[in-house]
């Protein structure tokens, strides 16, 4: 989505926050697992920060695959990891947020009211699809002044996942050739740009309709999966970052260099589990390496990516914006597989 297709919320908008004495807020709440129909836009108690927490007024959030898994409680491992086997332990989901500091706990020294911040809430009870959320001060990162809230909200999980998959799991080196499968998606659009920043030659896999976009964000080459099977095309890659899971992991062996690495970031659950469990076994056969990757929330990495936005080395691709009350529609759009880049939620409803 082009920058002129949405209206970024300026940092000056934080002065319009409701009085801190008000005790209610709007939020998206679910009391059971299921599809978007289980999500309700309702009024709940505004949270109060503990001594080490910060109350953040959420200006923007973004929707990711993790929100979909939490909403549906699928696969069952999600329920085991995050609690709530029969019903959600955390009634308000939402992982990626950007907003302004509304209040601070008595032990917080690094932030003051009015600071613009962003955070990954995946280890802190979620709650991003609301007008306010409490966040440990240690999880917050300052938002660069030049980066709109809507852009900042896209990076906490997707951009950090792309960075860690390339740099850490994939051990990408400058000059190597990397294939990004699913290059037009939320993680993929960041992976293309971060790989270029790290000095790689980049090939992106996407559909015909999205080829121009993938080229525009830095891909040196584009493979159209509707006409070409990348696993049989003959080109070899030093690193493959797979966000789509469109082929079995073993199919990529023939298009990896002898010391190539395959990292699966997303895709169908069965294939991701196969990568996590079967990757080490496949790696033991030769010198190629295979495996699945899971994001490790890290404020330092989030701050690094935020600086890439500030320096214009990375530009988020924003497909659509929805107001907070339309989170169910936003998730339906994501589930349908239509999204290019990220889908953003704006919390602009007065309390």
Per-residue pLDDT of 194-227, as tens digits, reads: 999 999 999 999 999 999 999 999 999 999 999 9
| 97-151 confidence digits (pLDDT tens) | 999 999 999 999 999 999 999 999 999 999 999 999 999 999 999 999 999 999 9
| pLDDT for res 267 | 66
Q: What average pLDDT does the structure give for the chain? A: 90
CATH homologous superfamily of 3-154+299-346: Medium-chain alcohol dehydrogenases, catalytic domain (3.90.180.10)
- The two structure tokens encoding residue 322: 């929805």
Q: Please, are residues 295 and 164 in contact by the beta-carbon 8 Å criterion?
A: yes
Tell me which CATH code domain 158-292 carries: 3.40.50.720
Q: What is the DSSP string of 142-167?
A: EPPTTS-HHHHTTSTTHHHHHHHIII
Which phi and psi angles does 258 have, rounded to 5°?
-55, -30
pLDDT at 228 over 70: yes
Tokens representing 106? 């008595």
Please state the domain extents for the chain.
Answer: 3-154+299-346, 158-292
Identify the band that residue 13 occupies on the pLDDT scale cut at 50, 70 and 90.
very low
CA-nearest of 31, 137, 34 to 92 is: 31
What mean pLDDT comes out for the span 230-240?
Answer: 96
Q: Strands of 196-246 (E only): list them.
A: 201-206, 221-224, 237-242
Whether 7 has a pLDDT exceeding 50, the answer reads: no
What pLDDT, on the 0 to 100 scale, is given for residue 94? 95
Closest-CA residue to 298 (of 116, 196, 167, 188)? 167
pLDDT band for position 10 (cuts 50, 70, 90): very low
pLDDT band at 69, cuts 50/70/90?
confident
pLDDT at residue 175, rounded to an integer: 98
**CA-CA distance, 263 to 49, in Å (whole number)?**
38
pLDDT > 50? residue 11: no
């Amino acid at each position: 989505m082009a920058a002129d297709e949405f209206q970024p919320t300026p940092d000056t908008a934080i002065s319009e926050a409701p009085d801190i004495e008000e005790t209610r807020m709007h939020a998206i709440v679910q009391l059971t697992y299921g599809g978007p129909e289980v999500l309700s836009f309702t009024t709940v108690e505004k949270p109060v920060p503990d001594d080490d927490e910060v109350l953040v007024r959420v200006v923007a959030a973004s929707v990711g695959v993790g929100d979909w898994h939490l909403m549906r409680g699928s696969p069952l491992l999600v329920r085991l990891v995050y609690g709530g086997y029969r019903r959600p332990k955390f009634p308000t989901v939402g992982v990626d947020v950007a907003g302004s500091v509304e209040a601070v706990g008595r032990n917080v020294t690094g932030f003051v009211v009015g600071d613009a911040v962003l955070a990954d809430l995946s280890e802190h009870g979620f709650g991003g699809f609301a007008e306010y959320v409490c966040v440990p001060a240690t999880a917050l990162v300052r938002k660069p002044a030049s980066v709109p809230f809507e852009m900042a909200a896209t990076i906490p999980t997707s951009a950090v996942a792309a960075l860690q998959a390339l740099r850490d799991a994939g051990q990408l080196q400058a000059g190597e050739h990397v294939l990004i499968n699913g290059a037009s998606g939320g993680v993929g659009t960041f992976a293309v740009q971060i790989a270029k920043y790290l000095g790689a030659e980049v090939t992106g896999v996407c559909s015909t309709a999205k080829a121009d976009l993938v080229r525009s964000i830095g891909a040196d080459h584009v493979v159209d999966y509707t006409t070409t099977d990348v696993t049989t095309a003959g080109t070899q890659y030093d690193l493959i970052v797979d966000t789509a899971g469109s082929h079995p992991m073993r199919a990529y062996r023939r298009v990896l260099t002898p010391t190539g690495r395959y990292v699966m970031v997303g895709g169908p659950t069965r294939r991701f589990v196969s990568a996590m469990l079967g990757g080490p076994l496949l790696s033991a056969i030769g010198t190629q390496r295979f495996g699945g990757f899971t994001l490790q929330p890290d404020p330092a990495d989030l701050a690094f990516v935020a600086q890439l936005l500030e320096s214009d080395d990375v530009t988020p691709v924003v497909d659509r914006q929805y107001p907070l009350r339309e989170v169910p529609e936003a998730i339906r759009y994501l589930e349908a597989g239509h999204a290019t880049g990220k889908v953003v939620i704006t919390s602009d409803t007065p309390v």
